[in-house]
Amino acid sequence: MTSPTRVAIVRPEALPDPVGFSHGVIASGPALYVAGQIAPGEAGSLAGVDFARQFEGALDRVLAVVRAAGAGAQDVARMTVYVTDMASYRRCRPALGATWRARFGRHYPAMALLGVAELAEPGACVEIDAVVALPATQKEAR
């Protein structure tokens, strides 16, 4: 569910209905810029952790930052997902969709999915960053 005071979804009639994202989002108030998040690894290693679990872990870390700032999933206005294996992304779409719905419901921010050669952390195959519309009275969160 979107918050009418901070995030409004734009659905242009001239474009087809989006699936899993929004064509545009109007965000008001101060913004939180969430740095790229990867899944937490066992003892610092992500080697062998499957794609769907890495997506879930990275998404959970994004939402931890969002909540620490006093916002919620419905306040996410923009998200970029970086993946090192587009074939794994496509293969895991049903699991990723279930993970998404469990955390965001039917809220879909403006999104981009980018295939990249590699990420900074060895073994990482998913990284997610986000922009979030915060309440106008938001103070520094710790």
Residue ranges per domain, the chain? 7-133
Interatomic CA distance for residues 76 and 85, integer angstroms: 25
pLDDT in tens, 94-108: 999 999 999 999 999
In the sheet that 126-133 helps form, which strands lie side by side, from edge to edge? Answer: 31-37, 126-133, 76-83, 110-115
Q: Which residues contact 122 (CB under 8 A, 6 or more apart)?
A: 45, 46, 47
Between 141 and 122, the more confident residue is 122
7-133 sits in which CATH class? alpha beta
pTM above 0.85, yes or no: no
Residue 115's pLDDT band, with cuts at 50, 70 and 90, is very high
Between 73 and 12, the more confident residue is 73
pLDDT in tens, 65-89: 999 999 999 999 999 999 999 999 9
